[in-house]
Amino acid sequence: MSVQTSTHRPSATTAAGTEDDQPLPVLGRDVTVPLVTGGEVTYAALDYAASAPALQRVWDDVAAYAPYYGSVHRGAGYLSQLSTDLFENSRRTVARFLGCREDDQVVFTRSTTDSLNLLASALPERCEVFVFETEHHASLLPWRDARVTFLNAPRTPREAVATLERALARRDLESPALVCVTGASNVTGELWPVRELAAAAHAHGARVVLDAAQLAPHHPVDIAELDVDWVAFSGHKLYAPFGSGVLAGRADWLREAEPYLAGGGASRKVARRTDGGVDVEWHTGAARHEAGSPNVIGVYAIASACEALTEAGFDRLVEREQELVARVREGLAEVPEVRVLSLFGDAAPRVGVISFVVEGWNSSHFAAALSAEYGIGVRDGLFCAHPLVRTLLGGDPGDPGECGAPDAGPGERSLNAIRVSFGAGTPDEHVARFTGAVKELVRDGARWNYRTEDGRCVPDRG
């Protein structure tokens, strides 16, 4: 049975665009939004680090498949068989995209957060977890039933490796251990020395899980080459915002753990006992942790995105994105009041994620003005990485704060930041409009009055 024949897949030319210097087509690229000052403008989506727009190729594939939707793994009908084939072929596509080893397992989840919570539920007894305070909360918080060592923010990649090695040297060698590392920071965009951290972990008998939520949309991720044990990422950051994620890697801890969710799909056989109880035989493969009816559309969307990015060619995607990074950094550098946040310094390689603060501005006020007066969508707040942002801003990492909520009124200093992020679907004009808007706002100020409402800075419409 050929699923691709049934879904009429678009050509690679449509998926990848026609010129090397052009962005990939994404859904919503022509959407216009109203400006508070009057008129409308094409929306500049510069919040890819939170959720990237769907690739047009992904949307077309999903729309073509939707009429053929059927239950997965359970039905005898044609559409059920087709959907099951599509689901399992998607698993193989993701495995190829990640360079999985022959015995690795691909488990479909809801998100990166869900993937890391799944792995946390599968940790062996007495497992020690090592995680840098610089991680996104999805990587920082799931390890509630383990012994966790939180590592201080390093200021160079070399210091990151040395910090991890010192911590691992003190660990209990009789216990299993796991190191959780990010591939690219969701705050600074800086690339972390994943291969070196993995080597250090393995040298001390520890395993490694890579949070690739911000890396996979921007760079190739190869499990075998990086020598990590697991990779987690989300579809909604990989141009496939349909509610699915991935945990891929070694099968043994997952096979030996209790199912993440108990229910149909995870169970192979269920029988009543003579004493009135129930005996359950659980699946040992990926299905063990995929209970319930799977999100086949979300899974297929991820596979479609993996194929589209591969066909477009990561070399050209990376080259174009780095040109955009350079333009944004150069534009911000021309504004003395702007300070770009960084752990590893200006020369550190990074993806299209840049956070900054503006002297004399509340970050939420600045982000609100970018949206209301220029039609530019960015993120403000602590980016679900509270300890890291507060460290970068010179505050106490233990200070409380809310994601996206202003800590001060418009015009007052606040201990939060502004983040601009972009990727394969970002047009040059969006970047030019953003840098021009920053310069204009700093020079001339906002043209509208703003107030705080329900924890957000919004235009005051009287």
DSSP for 146-169 reads SEEEEEPPPSSHHHHHHHHHHHHH
> For this structure, is 180 an active site residue?
no
Quick one: which of 393, 51, 334 has its CA closest to 188?
A: 393
Burial class from Cβ neighbours inside 10 Å (0-12, 13-18, 19+) for residue 38 reads exposed
Residue 214 Rama label (left phi>0; alpha psi -120 to 50; beta):
alpha
> Would you tell me how many other CB atoms lie within 10 Å of the CB of residue 129?
22
Of residues 100, 127, 180, 384, which has the active-site annotation? 384
Where in 35-104 does DSSP place strands (E)?
40-42, 44-45
Quick one: angle between helices 314-333 and 296-312, nearest 10?
A: 80
The number of helix segments (H) and strand segments (E) in the chain equals 15, 19
What are the start-end ranges of the H helices in 252-350? 252-256, 296-312, 314-333
Q: 389: which 2 tokens?
A: 């942002």
Active site residues: 384
